[in-house]
Amino acid sequence: MPGTFRELPASAPSVRGMEPPITDSERRAARAETSPDWVRDTVFYAIDVARFRDSDGDGFGDLPGLIEKFDYLEELGVGCLWFLPFYPSARRDNGYDVTDYYGVDPRMGTLEDFQRLTTEAHARGIRVMVDLVAHHTSEKHPWFEAARADRGSRFHDYYVWSYEEPTTSPEESVFPEEERGIWSYSRHADAWYRHRFYSFQPDLRIANDAVWASILGVVDFWIAMGVDAFRIDAATHLFEDKGVEGGTARLDERMDALRSYLAERAPGVALVGEADVATSAIPPYFERGRFDSLYNFLANNTLFLSLARESAEPLGECLAGLHDEVPDGTWLNFVRNLDELDLEQLRPEDRAEVRDHFAPDDDMRIYGRGIRRGWAPMMRGEAQLRMTMSLLFAPPGAPLLAYGHEIGIGENLAAEGRKAVRIPMQWSAERHGGFTREGRSGITDAAQPRGRYGYRRRNVEAQRGDPQSLLTLTRELISLRRDHPSIGGSPWQLRAEGPLLWLAYGPLTAVHNLSRRHQRVEAVESQRRLLGDDLSAGRIPGYGLCWFMAE
């Protein structure tokens, strides 16, 4: 592979890259009712509603505040908004401890606000994706309260129980530094219940047909509310062996049934999976269209290994290997999400190398496998930050940004655990970054006023009119993908050459320099530069980037 392009064709004939010059909104409209393939052509933008914009001054973000920012989102050019859980919840796990699947947390608004949001989004050509948290509920959910109160209740079988004390250890938990294991005792039920995550998040028994019927009811409800896609939370763990008889559902049965269900009711609705698994375990997720896209944890892990080594080889090999394993698969690529940077898919020695490079202090590390730092503060200055932003838009699949990434939002390492990257959006240099007009809360307390990435220096207002800002670059990259729909599709070519990663889609090529030092390249006088550095002198600067089109 080094030194030559590797041709990576589609497994079936494709004319992507040869489409007529139509707009992204036209493509969406043409396929909205019949196909979920729009996930391949859009840019996703993750919003934690509680931290995006507070409209009523209580220090807690809300749906009306988000609606106020639709002009900004449309100007940015994103195509699908992913909303982290906004359902009623005690928010002990950032909303993933759901107490009601059919409502909106009163601090964030009402169902009427959500309907107004989807109507406004669709009017602007923007889709909406929500989390389907089907793996577990909160212990405060009425289902679980009924389940532990009465073993004879039908809701008791909604959860996974053991009537003898199981053996368990912290290593089994997703949060080994915070939980003693995956089984906890309920004195009300006189039994142990399973929880792969926190003890206040009991696992649902997905193998129970009544549970699955209830989940389908939730899907129906939010489709009626205008939702275009569901992110299946914890898809990796949803179908794993629960360790008790009758506790395990089969991925193929449940997801095939869900896909058939959607095909009859809403064929344009997409399913996106959070599946942090090895390459060999990926194919079943894509078989028969079970999922339309998966979060690309493998490329995410190897991206950071490539950045640490200043070598394109790890990322290049990963991208080529994913194509070999799942040629028809589509990916949701990301640099950082709003959890920890989980490096679980790297070999132990490679994981240690990445952690030593990007998280040299113990308080920057978490769970023995990850890093709890933000994207921008981990980078070696502005040039590397800009290069990685551009690189996010280059691989096959669709890019995912989280709120604030487009301006280089920072981190709060004084916060506990994964909360370090969950800080309020930085709209202006005003108090609390313009997130709220007057409110004070635990969310506003996390706002970072000082430092290179604090809101006094980094905010939307400061970057909006600056042609050299990260925000401007992000808008240009989104526009580039919209104007050239072949980017991210098939066929594509790959070359990893030292620190240089080349990705080509027909006549369009993107090259990124993962090294801090300039590199020699072939002069490209005959090419039309679309974005980035000028390569006509036969060199690319350290952490340089260039998108160009063959004339």
Q: Report the catalytic residues.
A: 233, 274
Contact in structure between 382 and 410 (CB atoms under 8 Å): no
Contact in structure between 450 and 456 (CB atoms under 8 Å): yes
How far is the C-alpha of 493 from the C-alpha of 506, rounded, in Å?
Answer: 8
How far is the C-alpha of 378 from the C-alpha of 359, rounded, in Å?
Answer: 8
Ordered strands of the 370-371 beta sheet: 341-342, 370-371, 365-366
Instruction: Tell me the torsion sign for CA atoms 45, 48, 52, 55.
Output: positive
How far is the C-alpha of 108 from the C-alpha of 161, rounded, in Å?
Answer: 34
One-letter amino acid of 530 = L
Pick from 378, 299, 367, 368: which is nearest to 332 by CA? 299
Contact in structure between 71 and 63 (CB atoms under 8 Å): no
One-letter amino acid of 401 = L
Angstrom CA distances, 509 to 6, 295, 321, 486, stand at 13, 24, 20, 11
Contact in structure between 253 and 244 (CB atoms under 8 Å): no
DSSP code of residue 89 = B
How far is the C-alpha of 56 from the C-alpha of 63, rounded, in Å?
Answer: 10
- Give the list of residues 6+ apart from residue 484 with CB closer than 8 angstroms, or none: 505, 508, 530
Run of H or E including 39? none
Pairing status of strand 331-333 against strand 398-402: parallel
How far is the C-alpha of 33 from the C-alpha of 212, rounded, in Å?
Answer: 25
DSSP code of residue 495 = E
Residue 214 class from Cβ within 10 Å (0-12 exposed, 13-18 middle, 19+ buried)?
middle
Pairing status of strand 161-162 against strand 191-194: antiparallel
How far is the C-alpha of 536 from the C-alpha of 83, rounded, in Å?
Answer: 43
Tell me the two tokens of residue 318.
Answer: 């990963």
